[in-house]
Chains A and B, each alone.
Chain A
Amino acid sequence: MALFRRHRAIAALALAAALATACGSPAQDTAKATGTQDSVDAALKAGGSITYWTWTPSAKAQVAAFEQEYPNVKVNLVNAGTGKDQYTKLQNAIKAGSGGPDVAQIEYQALPQFALPGSLVDLNQYGFGTFQKDYTASTWTSVTVNNALFGLPQDSGPMALFYNKEDFDKYGIAVPKTWDEYLDAAKKLHAADPTKFITSDIGDPGFTTSMIWQAGGHPFSTDGRNVKINLDDAGAQKWTKVWDQLVQGKLLSTVKGWSDDWYRALGDGSIATLVTGAWMPGVFKSSVTAGSGKWAVAPMPTYDGQPVSAENGGSTQSVLKQSSNPALAAAFVRWLNHGNGVKPFIASGGFPSTTADLNSPAFLDATDPYFGGQQVNKVLTAASGTVAKGWSYLPYQLYANSVYGDTVGKSYLNGTDIGSGLKAWQATLVDYGNQQGFTVSAG
């Protein structure tokens, strides 16, 4: 069928490209061993069965569509838990050498932790490297570790400002374009109504790292065994300068994010803005019914007024080394995130990472009644184009996030400056990294 033929053409191109690269740069490490998609196509034809661990709600529809298209492949869909819960099971299975799935959903910040010890399959060997141009730059960087490719991006989370228009209109607050304006808005709102806050934050590692990202910080860098951690660089300081004022000025709601209280507060206006990833509209629509028609989307405030954003959240699907049929698993990943699986994903409220979908007129022009008829995707796609470059997570980011509350969280709790919390976090991470065999230096 046409799909198949198109893949063959791409495969041929990939082969040519691979040969060209191979000849052109012999010093490149073997991790960039490229191959063709032939084996993947062959595996699809041969059929078989694979196990897929994910928690995305669109997975059911996607698996059904896939099995219809390829009737001799059976996908065993398992929801092994959300985020951390699933990662724990994945780690256990990897340590035991068996019991894991063929394909697993892995968030971008967690990917290095699985990729570096060699638990995931490098998809370059199937020629997936040619898909680079089809994705946004930031998501592609998120799935590559040390020049090896460990997944195809599923969704992206460029950050934007979601604000409660009703609140803003009521209290005469203009949509802030800079963080200073945001601070002013915070003060104005809280003074006018002490039960309302500009946003809620009791410390969240994903949010912190994304904010440092937007401010131009590069706290984590890894080069083989060497890791550098500097949570006190210019970017971090830029962010803490603003955020300290919010925390110490008690201008932030202390409702815990993603709790039922938080959903409640979003619905009744006591949390007036959310600075978060582009996947948020889906959550609003399904879970904050009381806020319908009251919210709108604007670009994320910046420090100097020039548009720049960061990524927050988003995941990919990866193939595990312990899979007994990696080629078939890779075929599924390709279908999921580079084939017919993308449409059901978008239909269920996911925010894509494929440039074609992000820029398609249908996508951009879609009006959203929840957001008062606003064409929100225009703002969000624009944001994906302004994501700051050069960011990387720690090889042990999951661990880092787990001890965030012990260190930075304490600063939020005690109202002390976030910088000192970041320093404590850094110290813990340096220690841990050294214990795990890295050579970690601070600064």
Chain B
Amino acid sequence: MTSTVDSPPIRAGAGGAHGRRQHRRGWIFVAPFAIVFALTFLAPLVYAFGLSLFRDQAFFGGTVFVGLGNYAQALGDANFWAAFLRVLLFLAVQVPIMLVLALVAAFAIDSARLHAAGFFRMVIFLPYAVPGVVAVLMWGFIYGDHFGLAADLNHLLGQDAVQPLSDNWILTSIGNIVTWEFVGYNMLIFYSALKVVPPDQIEAAAIDGAGSLRTIISVKLPAIRGAIVVATIFSIIGSFQLFNEPNILRTLAPNVITTYFTPNMYAYNLSFSGQQYNYSATVAIVMGVITAIIAYAVQLRGQRKGR
């Protein structure tokens, strides 16, 4: 049975008043999550939306109601759209690469054809366990073109060929760090899903004479379709919200990574460097809406194919 992202298959349940009472009890289980969620996500979201309708002039002039003025400004903001296109490009390249690597790793580890599979699984997951500050420290060393590994490579090659923190390469360098960090996380998601593929399906394929690769393509991949779709959605959301890596890397390359390098960085700097809380909330909400639309689109598409 395949698991899809959206409505899990409806099972025949008890109907009537008795059934309704039982089913309403479902709220007991959902309530704790819902309450905390309301406090930590919904309330600030509503607050942020409220903020986005005003403009607060920090020094003179007080707070003014501007209605949708901030939204108009955001939609015409060149910095915002440049940042948006950048993360779109990033997403289009990095997410597929990362998910493919994660899939390959998951299949390899699951296939039992690997020596020391457990060791591989732990080591590949390890980067996800490394905090962002530390990850950038390490990669900062590797990317350093004065005393770092990149510098050593340049010495070997005799010229300044490797410039990870230059304008042309910075997005790739960031993509590299993100891939390094998250392949293990996605691999674990896929691996978990693989582990619950019904063995009888695999046996059936074997009896039909399918080899490993064929089994993977015809049986296992479809079986974990749900996990792939959800991993894709979370990766898309993560890419649109790209913040941690460019923000910390910014200390190493302050001229290449601008304050509006990604939409999330833009919103952050508007808030914390410029005290422009209202416009920052606006940018965040616009970005959120776009992200949500694309996420739903992916979900619907994944769902449709599954039927």
Q: Do chains A and B touch in the complex (CB under 8 A)?
A: yes
A residues at B contact (CB < 8 Å): 88, 91, 95, 116-117, 202-203, 225, 254-256, 259, 261, 264-265, 395-396, 398-399, 402-403, 405-406, 409-410, 412-413, 432, 435-438
Binary contact track B252-283/A, C-beta < 8 Å → 1, others 0: 11111111100000000100111111000000
Tell me whether A203 and B276 are in contact (CB under 8 A): no
Q: Given contacts A91-B275, A203-B254, A413-B255, are A402 and B269 in contact (CB under 8 A)?
A: yes
Tell me whether A436 and B57 are in contact (CB under 8 A): yes
Chain B residue at smallest Cβ distance from A401: B273
Stretch of B58-66, B118-126, B222-230 contacting A (4+ beta carbons < 8 Å):
B58-66
Tell me whether B167 and A261 are in contact (CB under 8 A): no
B307 at interface, CB cutoff 8 A: no
The number of residues on chain B lying at the interface, defined by a beta carbon within 8 Å of a beta carbon of chain A, is 29
Q: Given contacts A261-B146, A398-B273, are A437 and B259 in contact (CB under 8 A)?
A: no
Tell me whether B57 and A437 are in contact (CB under 8 A): yes
B31-75 with Cβ < 8 A to chain A: 55, 57-61
**B59 contact from A203, A256, A410, A436, Cβ within 8 A:** A436
Tell me whether B274 and A432 are in contact (CB under 8 A): yes
Tell me whether B147 and A261 are in contact (CB under 8 A): yes
Tell me whether A409 and B254 are in contact (CB under 8 A): yes
**B272 contact from A91, A117, A264, A403, Cβ within 8 A:** A91
**B254 contact from A88, A395, A405, A435, Cβ within 8 A:** A405
Q: Given contacts A202-B255, A405-B255, A413-B256, are A395 and B57 in contact (CB under 8 A)?
A: no
A-B pairs with beta carbons under 8 A, tally: 71
Tell me whether B255 and A203 are in contact (CB under 8 A): yes
Q: Given contacts A88-B272, A399-B273, A435-B57, are A265 and B254 in contact (CB under 8 A)?
A: no
Tell me whether B59 and A438 are in contact (CB under 8 A): yes
B144 at interface, CB cutoff 8 A: yes
Tell me whether A117 and B256 are in contact (CB under 8 A): no
Cα of A259 to Cα of B272 in the assembled complex, Å: 23
For A261, the chain B residues whose CB sits under 8 A away are 144, 146-148
Cα of A203 to Cα of B254 in the assembled complex, Å: 9
For A116, the chain B residues whose CB sits under 8 A away are 59
Tell me whether A438 and B254 are in contact (CB under 8 A): no
Q: Given contacts A398-B273, A432-B274, are A117 and B255 in contact (CB under 8 A)?
A: no
Output the residue of A116, A396, A406 with the most chain B CB within 10 A: A406
Cα of A264 to Cα of B147 in the assembled complex, Å: 9
Known: A398-B273, A399-B274, A412-B255. 18 other contacts (CB 8 A): A91-B275, A95-B277, A116-B59, A256-B253, A261-B146, A264-B147, A395-B59, A396-B59, A402-B259, A402-B269, A403-B273, A405-B250, A409-B255, A410-B255, A413-B256, A432-B274, A435-B57, A435-B276
- Tell me how far the C-beta of A409 lies from the nearest C-beta in chain B, rounded to whole angstroms: 3
B residues at A contact (CB < 8 Å): 55, 57-61, 144, 146-148, 167, 250-260, 269, 272-277
Chain A residue at smallest Cβ distance from B257: A405
**A225 contact from B60, B144, B277, Cβ within 8 A:** B60
Tell me whether B59 and A405 are in contact (CB under 8 A): no
Tell me whether A437 and B61 are in contact (CB under 8 A): yes
For A225, the chain B residues whose CB sits under 8 A away are 60
Cα of A146 to Cα of B192 in the assembled complex, Å: 65
Chain B residue at smallest Cβ distance from A89: B272
Cα of A371 to Cα of B61 in the assembled complex, Å: 53
- Tell me how far the C-beta of A216 lies from the nearest C-beta in chain B, rounded to whole angstroms: 27
Cα of A323 to Cα of B248 in the assembled complex, Å: 33
- Tell me how far the C-beta of B261 lies from the nearest C-beta in chain A, rounded to whole angstroms: 9
Q: Could you name 6 residue pairs across A and B whose Cβ atoms are closer than 8 Å?
A: A255-B146, A398-B273, A435-B55, A437-B59, A437-B61, A438-B59
Cα of A202 to Cα of B145 in the assembled complex, Å: 14
For A255, the chain B residues whose CB sits under 8 A away are 146
Chain B residue at smallest Cβ distance from A402: B273
- Tell me how far the C-beta of B149 lies from the nearest C-beta in chain A, rounded to whole angstroms: 13
Cα of A395 to Cα of B58 in the assembled complex, Å: 11
Tell me whether A413 and B272 are in contact (CB under 8 A): no
Cα of A306 to Cα of B253 in the assembled complex, Å: 37
Cα of A95 to Cα of B271 in the assembled complex, Å: 12
For B276, the chain A residues whose CB sits under 8 A away are 435
**B167 contact from A117, A412, A413, A435, Cβ within 8 A:** A413
- Tell me how far the C-beta of A413 lies from the nearest C-beta in chain B, rounded to whole angstroms: 4
For B144, the chain A residues whose CB sits under 8 A away are 261
For A432, the chain B residues whose CB sits under 8 A away are 274
Output the residue of B60, B144, B146, B277 with the most chain A CB within 10 A: B146
The 5 closest A-B pairs by CB, nearest first: A409-B255, A437-B60, A437-B57, A437-B61, A402-B273
Cα of A254 to Cα of B253 in the assembled complex, Å: 10
For A399, the chain B residues whose CB sits under 8 A away are 273-275
Tell me whether A265 and B260 are in contact (CB under 8 A): no
For B252, the chain A residues whose CB sits under 8 A away are 256, 259
Chain A residue at smallest Cβ distance from B276: A435
Cα of A69 to Cα of B144 in the assembled complex, Å: 49
Chain A residue at smallest Cβ distance from B274: A399
Chain B residue at smallest Cβ distance from A414: B167
